A and B are shown apart, each in its own frame.
Chain A
Amino acid sequence: MAALKGLITKGSLQKLVFSNVRKEFKTRIFARCSHFTYVPDTPKANHGETTRMNLFQSINSAMDNALEQDPTAVLFGEDVAFGGVFRCSIGLKDKYGKDRVFNTPLSEQGIVAFGIGLAVVGATAIAEIQFADYIFPAYDQIVNEAAKFRYRTGNLFDCGKLTIRAPCGAVGHGAMYHSQSVEAQFAHTAGLKVVIPRGPIQAKGLLLSCIWDENPCIFLEPKILYRSAIEEVPIHKYTIPLSQAEVILEGKDVTLVGYGTQVHVLREVANMAQERLNVSCEVIDLRTILPYDFETIANSVVKTGRLVISHEAPVTMGFATEIATAVQEECFLNLEAPIQRVCGYDIPFPHVFEPFCLPDKYRVFEAVKKVINF
């Protein structure tokens, strides 16, 4: 027990002699701490000076630009004042004052409704929901109020200046209440825009577009990228258009469509397919889930004849279902193989089983083989 004593008194488990256990543990957990390899984007030359930023810093930079340009803009949510639990708002309260960057009481429905009210009177409202998994108390306000404000008032009133930000997606250990991908829940609601960036450069341009867009937007930030995704990001403001997908890798045999973190999985699969199967994949980042850019996908499918769609969210009624349906309606005669969906299983996101439930590169790779060999 001498080893145990060391642990307690020195506050360190290093003293503990459980070497076998530790070795096994490291293999067990760290072998799969990340299910993708991040490939940084390069900034556009015309966006000017850049600096190294990770995802939370680029989001911070976007909000900094928005608060600077527009004196009506306010940023709020749970724990936002000290910088937010993911540090996205760090430094902004000190820079713009506590009346513009502030904590709210702990109520998601309150946060969203407060944002709607601000937007209705013409202020730019940036509302943070701490985790996408916790957005559901606000579901009524988002779906019945924000999404329908312009429509039900005959365009007399609107809340287009509202942007709701929320971290989403798998993170390695988040289990069912810190890992969900909720985009499909909102993609079923006309009147909303739903956006998911794949990295820091994209995040800043897309978030500024959401903030300045005249419709309520939900901006979902893949939380696993907050620290792990690092790029040279332009320091000044710039926008990336909403509802435009991007072909991030051109190819001729198979079209791979995804968004957020999954884009990086698809990029890796494209490499695997090239190396192991001599198959050329075209990778598309959808970027905006609603209203989505069907044309870019269709053009690609017309060229390749094969489509694999992948997202972390459960497969049944996931956004892949919408894309697959629309593609078979419009491109039926172009298809060489049935469209494949490689998505989360229809289960709540489980803690220790994450390595087995993610739509990882091996599962997507299998789907590529399937459409090629059909």
Chain B
Amino acid sequence: MNRLLSRKAFKAFFKLHEACCLTSTQYFLKPPRVLVNKAQYISEDRPEFPGSKSEFVHKLKFLWPEKMEGIPVYRVMNRKGEIVDPSEDPGLSKETVIKMYKDMTMLNTMDRILYESQRQGRISFYMTNFGEEGTHIGSAAALNPKDLIFGQYREAGVLMWRGFTLDQFMNQCYGSSEDLGKGRQMPVHYGSKDLHFVTISSPLATQMPQASGAAYGFKRAQNGLCVVCYFGEGAASEGDAHAALNFAATLECPVIFFCRNNGYAISTPTRDQYRGDGIASRGFGYGMVTARVDGNDIFAVYKVTKAAREICIQENRPVLIEAMTYRIGHHSTSDDSSAYRSVDEVSHWNKEDTPIARLRLYMINKGWWNDDAEKEWKRDSKKKVMEAFANAEGRKKPNPEMMFTDVYKEIPKHIQKQMDQMKQHVHAYKDHYPLDSYQKMG
């Protein structure tokens, strides 16, 4: 049965991505003719080395990456919000499309307010998602809400789609007593067990091989779910990225590696990050099914993620998706990107190609949205964000004793002693500690 299903899933995927993706099998068994001259002298023997499968040639030819054609970018909807090939239209309901739009724009509004609040010292740090909203919402919408997410740090939209509330976002950024992470991490390090989103960790790419392991666990549990790992094109340079992709491929893990290629790792442009054809080209090297997609086209992101998920689940194998997009915001509030890229470049993308504007055009074309609806939604969404913001700002921080819990499952004696010493000390010097801003210690 699996076999049949798997073929079906594969066919669907190939149909979808005929134009934009290669599979590892295609890549290895049928090397592009430009690269290897199908020589006159192909021997009848075939190489029998355990490490490769191909054929002998008797003329030396190097593979020159410059001579390879770039991997195409799958797109459903153009910049005018028109579906290019009607057969590729995902046919999402008005309700779903409007939720997609509202989540993207709500994320946008939240970003603007939290960014500003950091500039004023109200929160310590923030990272916006400007320009990448389509990759978040498009992929999240295509998943089973129970698929486990391992994110990098710029995927707040995935949580928003799944129902993380504005209060939850704000409480995390303020490290308030209601923060699910107990005030321990910097802003934007969200996580939610209920929403199957593993809490963000700052070090880059560390989540990637973990995602492979989690996917292997899911496969053994036969729970019909997959794991989704988001990462940036910069993080893909870390050693962990290599381990992740190679483990996932060799151990046949149902995991989607979703690369947000937004052009910059802080200041470092892709030219300094890699010299191959993006991150997608690496998929073949690992023997992974791979696709590249226009990350600013939410429908294309949706379709590729949905198809990738089918392959993951039906075939028990990983899929690599490279979503091409552009980071319109600064890396974080600690960064001023005008020091390394032109304001014109940023405003070009902001004006010409954002996932939000594109979806809005689609909705307007469909008669699902208009200026009045836009105005009303903008007003409502800002009001909601501001309310959550004010509530979080007014809340106290957690009880300082909570810095000692969860280091281990139980509190070891030496840490218990340190907690007691801290309480005693702070009590003795209470005028010198900001106790009023925190919940009372026991």
Contact = CB atoms under 8 A, between A and B. Distances in A.
Interface in A89-107: 102-107
B116 A105 contact: no
Interface string B159-177: 0000000000000000100
B184 A176 contact: yes
A106 B237 contact: yes
A297 B237 CA distance: 44
B259 to A, nearest CB: 13
Interface in A167-224: 172-178
Given A4-B382, A105-B273, A351 B186 contact: yes
Interface in A1-34: 1, 4-5, 7-8, 11-14, 16, 18, 21, 24-25, 27-32
B7 interface: no
Nearest to B383: A1
B426 interface: yes
Contacts of A8: 109, 112-113, 382
A137 B432 contact: no
A345 B422 contact: yes
Contact of B434 (A32, A105, A109, A177): A32
Interface stretch (B42-50, B66-74, B392-400): B392-400
Contacts of B347: none
Interface residues on A, range: 35 or more
A21 to B, nearest CB: 5
Of listed A4, A30, A102, A136, residue having the most chain B CB within 10 A: A4
B204 A106 contact: yes
A345 B404 contact: yes
A79 B268 contact: yes
Nearest to A11: B116
A346 B120 contact: no
A109 B239 CA distance: 8
A223 to B, nearest CB: 11
B27 interface: no
B182 to A, nearest CB: 8
**Ordered nearest first, which 3 A-B pairs have the shortest CB separation?**
A173-B124, A177-B202, A352-B175
Given A21-B393, A347-B407, 6 more contacts: A316-B414, A346-B414, A347-B403, A351-B124, A352-B183, A366-B428
Interface of B: 109, 112-113, 116-117, 120-122, 124-125, 175, 183-186, 189, 201-204, 234-235, 237-240, 265-268, 272-274, 334-335, 339-340, 382-383, 386, 390, 393-394, 397-398, 400, 402-404, 407, 414-415, 418, 422, 425-426, 428-429, 432-434, 436-437
Interface of A: 1, 4-5, 7-8, 11-14, 16, 18, 21, 24-25, 27-32, 78-79, 81-83, 85, 102-110, 133-134, 136-137, 172-178, 315-316, 345-348, 350-353, 355-357, 362-363, 366
